[in-house]
Amino acid sequence: MVCTSLSHLLYNLNKDCKMKTGICTDHGGYALKKIIHEFLIKVGYEVVDFGAFKQDDDDDYPDFVIPLARAIADKEVHRGIAICGSGVGASIAANKVAGVRAALIQDHFSAHQGVEDDDMNLLCLGGRVTGFASAQELILAFLKAEFSGAARHLRRLQKIKQLENK
C-alpha cells in the first residue's frame, strides 16, 4: 500500500521501530538538519549524527557525506539522510562509495519508489530548496518503504554491483 498523506504515514509509523538512521549536512543544510534530527527522534528513530555540529560556511559536504556513506555501506546504519545546499553535491559524493545508492529526492513518489525498486539507502535533500514539511514527508516515505526484492530489480542491482567491483 502506498501512503498518500503525511498524517497517514505518521499514524502507521511503527512506534517500536528503532531503525538506526544516519544524518549529515554541511553549512547549506545545517538549519534543516537540526529540525529533522529532533523530528526523527520524536517519531521513534535512532539517529546517528555525522555532522556538521555547528554552522560553518567554510565546511565541505564530502567531509560529512563520505563518513555517512561508509557507515551505510558497512551496515553501521540502516539508511541515511544527507543534506547540502541543493542536495546535488551530497548525492554525487555519496554515490562514490560502493554499496551506497543515493538520490536527490524532491517528490513523494520517488522517495518510496527509490527504495521499493532500486533499494535506495541514502536520501539527499537540498537545505536551501526543501522546506521542513516537505522534508518530513519525503523522509518518512523513504524510511517506511521496503525494497520489493523483485527479480527484475535484483537483476538491475547486480549490474550496478558489477560496476562497483571493477
pLDDT at res. 15 = 44
Q: Which of 88, 65, 80, 59 shows the shortest CA–CA distance to 123?
A: 80
Residues 83-93 have a mean pLDDT of 98
Please give the domain boundaries of the chain with CATH numbers for all domains: 18-164 (3.40.1400.10)
Q: Please, which pLDDT band fits residue 4 given cuts at 50, 70 and 90?
A: very low
Q: Please, which pLDDT band fits residue 17 given cuts at 50, 70 and 90?
A: low
Statement: residue 61 has pLDDT above 80: yes
* pLDDT tens digit sequence for 105-123: 999 999 999 999 999 999 9
User: Please, how many CA atoms are within 13 Å of residue 33, restricted to the half-sphere of its CB?
Assistant: 32
In angstroms, the first-to-last Cα distance of the chain is 38
Statement: residue 3 has pLDDT above 90: no
**Is pTM beyond 0.85 here?**
yes
Report the mean per-residue pLDDT for the chain: 91
Statement: residue 161 has pLDDT above 50: yes
Q: Please, which pLDDT band fits residue 18 given cuts at 50, 70 and 90?
A: confident
DSSP 80: E
DSSP 101: -
Inter-residue contact 83 to 125 (CB < 8 Å) = yes
DSSP 25: E
Statement: residue 8 has pLDDT above 50: no
Q: Please, which pLDDT band fits residue 16 given cuts at 50, 70 and 90?
A: very low
The one-letter amino acid code at 125 reads L
Q: What percent of the chain has pLDDT over 90?
A: 88
Catalytic residue, from 3, 17, 24, 84: name it.
84
Statement: residue 11 has pLDDT above 70: no
User: Does 84 participate in catalysis according to the annotation?
Assistant: yes
